[in-house]
Chains A and B, each alone.
Chain A
């Protein structure tokens, strides 16, 4: 079969299967979160949280060795701390949010890399930053599947609150008390998705898997549920193709996955039905596509 190379590595190796299932599930839950980050104009916040996770992971490793729960807990605390700190600085000073985030994430990236260096050579920095399919063992897979399922269920439950919280916050305040709670839960989901993704996809790359499919999906529809589903699908396919690419080329997993997602994004920029370049220059194109 000519298509066999698309499946063969996953039949052959258990670690590739685990990376595929875990990665695709996590991609499907992370991408809709990315859509809401974009709609809230908080794309930078995701970036900052992703970088903020690093020092937490490093401290978790220093305290407890290579233990997934310790590193995840460290990343979770550091990521939430990062989101809180950025919000606090913006609220208390005149600095705009994007500037305070841009100031914070180089600090935590540099701090994280130094801490990982201090932690010794037992931890491969490249694997933490850029991911490795080999890192997905049985426990990691379970964690990824659990986080993905819980995220999707919670996201469905707070969907309307998130939607109107980003579109029209004053209206939401007038009809519901749960707006701030939904926002906090949403930030928590972003952090935990990024934390759980760092092993397979890499701490620096997992944010790409969250944002790129989300940005790509916005080019294809004006219907939010459809955008969310499409973002999930693009992200999951990116994980699958990226894993294959990294397997055959012998390259780091994270960048391969993110580059595939980047490819989808660039295609959407050109061919996207809603805001794409072709639909802008040739109105007929968007009519043909509808």
Chain B
């Protein structure tokens, strides 16, 4: 799904990490780990095609429009914007060619799945951070993307919201979608994700989250 060779990225010709060689197959869930400012969000933006890499090759098998869904780190939405939750979520069917009835049914199913029933007519200003985040994830769900790039998706969510999120990630994986998720909750990552990418200015490492985090702790102790 994603194949990169000597990929470098960062602001103004100053790469944040050593060149990255990465090969992720379809239907995998990968956590992107690293300290603040190490370049996790920028990497997701490069993969989403929002910013250009500085150097290297990048091949993504979901390059056509609508096949990649990207969730921003901080909800940059204007909360005063005159739109309600249902219309926000329904925009996920932007490129859908289904009939009106089918679209309504899909929308309803997604609202049920993300526990948003009863909030449909709420304006954005009346939603909590977690509710808005669930709505944005529901919109991505409706988009039916093959590659999902999620930047700290569960940071605004409570316990049950996080549980719901990780369950849906599992479902996405079972449906053969590829998921990359930036996450600072290492306990959740170790529990729900099988592979991870550690990013820092010194190195880019790939492996199981538990291994990477254990290695990280030992280097911290050695220092």
Chain A residues in the interface with B (C-beta under 8 A): 39, 160, 163-164, 166-168, 170-171, 173-177, 218, 221-224, 227, 275
Q: Which residues of B contact A224 (CB under 8 A)?
A: 82-83
A170/B83 in contact, CB under 8 A: no
Return the contact of B95 from the options A173, A175, A222, A223 (Cβ within 8 A).
Answer: A175
In the complex, are the beta carbons of B77 and A174 less than 8 A apart?
A: no
Nearest CB to that of B45 among chain A residues?
A: A170
Q: Which of B66, B82, B139, B143 is close to A222, meaning CB atoms less than 8 Å apart?
A: B82
Chain B positions within 8 Å of A218 at CB level: 82
Residues on A with beta carbons closer than 8 Å to the beta carbon of B95:
175-176
Once bound together, how far apart are the Cα atoms of A175 and B50, in whole Å? 13
B82 x A171 contact (CB < 8 A): no
CA distance A224 to B88 in the complex (A): 12
Contact B66 A174 (CB under 8 A): yes
Please, which residues of chain A bring their CB within 8 A of the CB of B202? none
The answer on a CB contact under 8 Å between A177 and B65 is yes
Measured CA separation A163–B125 after assembly (Å):
17
Q: Contact: A173 with B50, CB < 8 Å? A: yes
**A167–B94 contact, CB under 8 A?**
no
Our pick among B66, B69, B81, B123 for the contact of A39 (Cβ within 8 Å) is: B81
Q: Is the CB of B77 within 8 A of A167?
A: yes
Contact A222 B123 (CB under 8 A): yes
B69 / chain A contacts, CB cutoff of 8 Å: 174
For B156-176 the 0/1 string (1 means CB < 8 A from A) is 000000000000000000000
Interface centre among B80, B82, B83, B88, by most chain A C-beta atoms within 10 angstroms, is B82
Q: B179-220 vs A: 1/0 string, CB under 8 Å?
A: 000000000000000000000000000000000000000000
Residue B115 CB within 8 A of the other chain: no
B residues less than 8 Å from A227 (CB atoms):
82
> Are A170 and B70 in contact, with the CB atoms below 8 A?
yes
Instruction: For residue A176, give the distance in angstroms from its CB to the closest CB of chain B.
Output: 7
Q: Are B70 and A174 in contact (CB under 8 A)?
A: yes
Chain A residues whose CB sits within 8 angstroms of the CB of B65 once the complex forms: 174-177
- On whether the beta carbons of A223 and B143 are closer than 8 Å, the reply is no
Q: How far is the CA of A216 from the CA of B53 in the complex (A)?
A: 45
Q: Find residues 50-83 in chain B having any chain A CB closer than 8 Å to their own CB.
A: 50, 65-66, 68-70, 72, 76-78, 80-83
Shortest A197–chain B CB gap in Å is 25
Query: Nearest Cβ distance between residue A214 and chain B, in whole angstroms?
Result: 12
22 A–B contacts from the bound complex (CB under 8 Å)? A39-B82, A163-B83, A166-B78, A166-B81, A167-B81, A167-B83, A167-B88, A168-B76, A168-B77, A170-B70, A170-B72, A171-B91, A174-B68, A174-B69, A176-B94, A176-B95, A221-B82, A222-B82, A222-B83, A222-B123, A222-B125, A224-B82
Residue of chain A at shortest CB distance from B72? A170
In whole angstroms, how far apart are the Cα atoms of A222 and B123 in the complex?
7
Query: What is the CB-to-nearest-CB distance from B52 to chain A, in angstroms, rounded to a whole number?
Result: 14
Output the least CB separation between B108 and chain A (Å): 21
B84 at the A interface (CB under 8 A): yes
Residue B137 at the A interface, CB < 8 A? no
Question: What residues on A are CB-neighbors of B81 within 8 Å?
Answer: 39, 166-167
Q: Does B48 contact A (CB under 8 A)?
A: yes
For residue A221, which residues in chain B have a CB less than 8 angstroms away from its CB?
Answer: 82
Closest chain B residue, CB of each to CB of A176: B94
